[in-house]
Structure 1
């Protein structure tokens, strides 16, 4: 999912939290809440970029 209110941040949908959706960054990190009207499905290239960033971080031994 892409949160358009956070500069196009890509995250995985986790759950509904009241009026918000909780998303978790594909690259790891803290979850955040987004308003559903600002969330859209990620385009394949957006998802690929996020997954590549995650793979690169893991190869450097970074904690995700």
Structure 2
């Protein structure tokens, strides 16, 4: 997937980890297309949200690791996920 700000690219494969730049860099998994939007879900599960395709870019390996580590830390603290 090639990222160009404001320009939608073809949807990634389901399960691809992406960053929603329209929501302060929120990281999620691509779940599918919902009308003109892409459905994303937090890495550890939870409520999906819709994002404008032009505001979504692939997550870097560092971003993916940071999000997975935050989820593991929350789980170890007993936070609700």
* TM-score (ref. length: structure 2): 0.73
Instruction: Return the structure number with greater strand share.
Output: 1
- The residue number in structure 2 matching 1:56 is 73
Structure with higher helix content: 1
Instruction: Structure 2: state its 5+ residue gaps.
Output: 1-17
Runs of 4+ in 1 over 3 A off after TM superposition: none
Q: Of the two, which has the highest radius of gyration?
A: 2
Give the superposed CA RMSD: 1.1
Cα offset, 1:15, TM superposition: 1.3
Paired residue total: 64
Unmatched 5+ stretches in structure 1? none
